[in-house]
Structure 1
Amino acid sequence: MAEINWQQLLESVVAAFDCSTGTMHTLDKSTNLLVLQAYQGIPPFLLPKMQTIPIGKGMAGIAAERRKPVEMCNLQTDESGVARPAAKETKVEGSIAVPMLLEGELYGVFGIAKPVPYDFTEEEISNLMKIGEEISRYVRANSAQVS
């Protein structure tokens, strides 16, 4: 099986949903941390805070914990405490973090966002979950080959 080109994969998802930024993390089962694999449109000074994300922290961590998408119409005005304070530095507004699940098992999380307030439709969320499932198939197949 070919190595996964995380950057190309993320760029395709970001473009398909007309977004400006995105991140893709995989789950490191030995540490139970989400590890950054690819990013687009993220200010360089934020990258150290995004390298690893604990389950339950920030949008990606909560999406991983709940195994459900976590969405914000406007990250800039959100006061729920779900988004980490540094997330506002991305200058994005409409954002969603989607768990990558296959048969109930978590393989990672990806997030995409727009520079304007936006609510993702049920159809978009369903499509994003399907994308996460397909990515998980590749992750599982690749990790099976490595083991």
Structure 2
Amino acid sequence: MLSTTSAILSSLRNHASEVNWQKLLEDIISSFDCSTGTLHFYDKESNLLKLQAQQGIPAFLLPKMTEIPIGKGMAGIAAERRQPVEMCNLQTDNSGVARPAAKETKVEGSIAVPMLLEGNLYGVFGVAKPVPYDFTQDEQDALIRIGQEMSRYIRAQASPVG
């Protein structure tokens, strides 16, 4: 995991052109031995998280995941709290954090990670496994670092040059 995480971070730092967000998400999913994932960017104007990439989400659920309000579901709560939100088993969770439709993904161990840089929110990405799982502190730290690097890239792309 560590070498793959380093490779992901390095590829983001060295991007001179557009990032292929779908490929990046697939690399993150693979490096953390997950099966499913989503990547949402934060839209300040609408105050919504907007879907940029996904893998393994059933087609009938995509309309419910295209735009996520801050504070709703795992991604929205991670954005609101500005910290990762994790569930060992999304299928048996009764906390109300996961939206009912999330259980339709059939995933269990899942984590939503806010993409933060200097206190600013740029989005949220999440990965999940088909089995119950608690992400280790090292894994959470690596995911947070990846989120920071993604945020750095998004910020640089949003800033006019010259």
The TM-score with structure 2 as length reference comes to: 0.89
CA distance in 1, matches of 2:109, 2:139: 13
Deviation of the 1:3 alpha carbon: 1.7
Letter in 2 for 1:135: M
Decide which of 74, 79, 90 is 2:89's aligned counterpart: 74
Decide which of 49, 56, 59 is 1:44's aligned counterpart: 59
Deviations 1:42-65 (A, max 9, x none): 000000000000000000000000
CA distance in 1, matches of 2:39, 2:140: 16
CA distance in 2, matches of 1:9, 1:33: 22
Deviations 1:4-50 (A, max 9, x none): 21101100100000000000000011111000000000000000000
Structure 2, unaligned runs of 5 or more? 1-15
When the two structures are aligned, how many residues end up with a matched partner? 146
- Report % sequence identity: 75
Root mean square deviation of aligned Cα? 0.9
1:25 aligned to 2:22?
no
1:87 aligned to 2:74?
no
Letter in 1 for 2:17: A
Larger radius of gyration: 2
Correspondence list, 1:100-115, <5 A: 100-115=115-130
Ranges of 4+ aligned residues in structure 1 off by more than 2 Å: none
